[in-house]
Amino acid sequence: MSEPRDLKALYRRYVAAFNAHDFDELETYLSPELVFDWGDVMPAMRGRAAMFAFYREAWTYFDEEISASDIEIDGSRLSATITTEIRVFRDWPECPIGPMRSGPSYTVSGRVEYLFEFGRIAYIDAP
């Protein structure tokens, strides 16, 4: 596995690609077999393609930007406090997370864990 500073740098590039909605760049950071576990919020997404399908639709309804702080690394696990700013610009009554209405902005913060395998994020635990 990479040195912690290398893992942290790789993770920061992933965050930048996510915030830029750059699917081509995100592909380099996410395992094709990625599991994105949302806890009780919505069913887990299984596979990078499922995550991309969700966000390709989601970002037609809202803008989202994440920031990471308090990053800790333990072997191939990285945990961070993620603050997510969501600005809804179009109603999405069927959103799997819950209905969203145009206008409001949301800020959500919590601890998220990432498991890296072969230099890519293989599991995201966002309870």
Query: Which tokens is 117 given?
Result: 């395998």
Closest of 24, 25, 127, 2 to residue 73, by C-alpha? 2
Whether the per-residue pLDDT at 1 is higher than 50: the answer is: no
Predicted model pTM: 0.91
Whole-angstrom Cα Rg for the chain: 14
Hey, how many other C-beta atoms are within 10 angstroms of the C-beta on 49?
11
CATH numbers and ranges of domains, the chain = 4-125 (3.10.450.50)
Which has the higher per-residue pLDDT, 39 or 53? 53
Per-residue model confidence as pLDDT tens digits over 66-122: 999 999 999 999 999 999 999 999 999 999 988 999 998 989 999 999 999 999 999
Give the side-chain half-sphere CA count within 13 A for 84. Answer: 14
What's the pLDDT band for 4 if we cut at 50, 70, 90?
low
Query: Which tokens is 74 given?
Result: 């333990």
Query: For residue 84, what are the CA distances in angstroms to 8, 41, 49?
Result: 19, 15, 22
